[in-house]
Amino acid sequence: MTQPAQPDLSSLWMPFTANQQFKEHPRLLVAAKGMYYTTHEGQQVLDATAGLWCVNAGHGREEIIEAISTQTRKLDYAPSFQIGHADSFRAAKAVAGLMPEGLDRIFFTNSGSEAIDTALKIAIAYHRSRGEAQRTRLIGRERGYHGVGFGGISVGGIANNRRNFSSMLLPHVDHLPHTHNLEKNAFSQGQPEWGAHLADELENIIALHDASTIAAVIVEPMAGSTGVLIPPKGYLERLRAITQKHGILLIFDEVITAFGRLGYNTASQMLGITPDLIALAKGISNAAVPAGAVAVQRNIHDSIMQASSGGIEFFHGYTYSAHPLATAAILATLDIYEREQLFARARGLAPFMGAAAHQLKGHPHIIDIRTLGLVAGIELKPRPGQPGARAQEVFERCFDQGVLVRYTGDTLAISPPLIVSEDEIERIFSTIGEALKNTA
């Protein structure tokens, strides 16, 4: 079979990529089906990352393809300002049905970054609607990742994402300390025991700024992009109690964790904690069409609606909010999740995957392994003066052996589609183990 000609790589500025290095040794994908990508050279690559945490039902699902194709022929685009289309309302109801009780008002976006900025604006608008316009301060967390909008990187806590834009970030933002501690919690399975007290730092931040100035606290229940940081037992419960005590909204960034990643509809459901808003994306449409959303407590929505004297209540939205192709993909995706019981399947596989990951303990360079649901983080000791280099080498070795993993800093992140088999899980971690043995 003749290989396709390699395209000219010069015009594209790739996101979050070492562009010059990539273009010297490109890794090009040409097809995907089920658990596997096909490369430009015809190699089959096992997807151990669900794309970028997003292809939860596996690649090339015919039901989603057909739904998008049918919608394209019937209604390729509809404006979402002052006009609606039926599937946007159906999709909102379907998403609301998977959210914690009360979070049944859905605002559609096109990505996680847009969902975060939308959630922050809803929080500000809510307090203003109640006559508390002075509540504008936002509290994020160190090492938090909330997308790449100016709002998201302001409340986010990843230095490289903020550094070049530091003079342009939102004012009135503070950050909680992160919860990662190798000395106390290394090689924990599930939620670690130590660290609930770190939530109490929120009380110190409140004392510094005064609760009457604070609109919202935003955290990822499980932080993914910074290297799989799992919440200590009791930590999120304390954040919920403190925010409720002071009338501060709690926003969960569940762009990664919603739609089965932890074996439940949401991390909120898994942990038994209900925030005020949830930011969604990735698995909402199985990544077949870009899509995101914010799930909002009904009382927050109603307060903003009722505060309006008429006309537009919330001056915010996107050209492609509730795009017809996106809503078709969402409806088809959620139907697959329900019909195939993929969240329950992920919940059942989680112990097997956790055990497989922790069997790597003792391999060269590993200083921690963290697992929760169908997620594993494998932290490597950095090379002196070369942070991230060791994890990048393991990533490259695994790819050459037909397994796609993800790395962030010196942590490997594993998050396969929910359709993964036990044999494929074993292959993922055995390939990582071999790569580690051959990595300096």
pLDDT tens-place values along the chain, 440 residues long: 566 778 999 999 999 999 999 999 999 999 999 999 999 999 999 999 999 999 999 999 999 999 999 999 999 999 999 999 999 999 999 999 999 999 999 999 999 999 999 999 999 999 999 999 999 999 999 999 999 999 999 999 999 999 999 999 999 999 999 999 999 999 999 999 999 999 999 999 999 999 999 999 999 999 999 999 999 999 999 999 999 999 999 999 999 999 999 999 999 999 999 999 999 999 999 999 999 999 999 999 999 999 988 899 999 999 999 999 999 999 999 999 999 999 999 999 999 999 999 999 999 999 999 999 999 999 999 999 999 999 999 999 999 999 999 999 999 999 999 999 999 999 999 999 999 999 98
pLDDT at position 6 is 84
Token pair, residue 370, equals: 């963290």
Sheet containing 36-39, strands listed edge to edge, beginning at the edge strand earlier in sequence: 29-33, 36-39, 44-47, 403-404
Fold of 65-339: Aspartate Aminotransferase; domain 2 (3.40.640)
pLDDT at 41: 94
Three-class SS state of 181: coil
Residue 225 class from Cβ within 10 Å (0-12 exposed, 13-18 middle, 19+ buried)?
A: buried
β-bridge partners, 229: 223
- Domain 19-57+341-437: which topology? Aspartate Aminotransferase, domain 1 (3.90.1150)
> 367 Cβ partners below 8 Å, 6+ apart?
182, 186, 379, 380, 381
Residue 1 has what pLDDT?
53
Cα–Cα distance measured from residue 261 to residue 427, given in angstroms and rounded to the nearest whole number: 20
Select from 225, 244, 224, 220 the least CA-distant residue to 116: 220
Instruction: Please check whether residue 385 is in contact with residue 343, taking contact to mean a CB–CB distance below 8 angstroms.
Output: no
Give the Cα separation of 199 and 250 in Å (integer): 13
Query: Alpha-carbon torsion 126, 132, 137, 139, what sign?
Result: negative
Nearest Cα neighbor of 189 from 321, 362, 349, 376 is 376
Query: How far, in Å, are 22, 114, 223, 396 from residue 17 at the CA level?
Result: 7, 21, 21, 14
Look up tokens 């939102």; give the residue.
Answer: 170
Task: Note whether 140 and 154 are within 8 A (CB).
Answer: yes
Q: What is the pTM for the complete model shown?
A: 0.97
Rounded to whole angstroms, how far apart are CA atoms 29 and 6? 11
Q: How far apart are CA 377 and CA 406, in angstroms?
A: 10
**Sequential DSSP letters for 155-178:** H---HHHHGGGGGGSPSSEEEEPP
The predicted pLDDT at position 370 comes to 98
C-alpha–C-alpha distance, residues 318 and 150, integer Å = 16
The pLDDT value given to residue 285: 98
Taking the C-alpha atoms of residue 414 and residue 262, their distance in angstroms, rounded to an integer, is 12
Burial of 74 (0-12, 13-18, 19+ CB in 10 A): exposed
Please report which helix (H) or strand (E) contains residue 105, including its range: strand 105-109
Q: How many CA atoms lie within 13 A of 18 on its CB side?
A: 9
- The pLDDT score that the predictor gives to residue 5 is 78
- Of 224, 231, 232, nearest in space to 258 by CA: 224
- Domain locations in the chain? 19-57+341-437, 65-339
Tokens for 266, please give them. Answer: 């949401």
Burial 1-19 (b: 16+ CB within 10 A, else e): eeeeeeeeeeeeeeeeeee
Length of the chain as a residue count: 440
Note the pLDDT of residue 268: 98
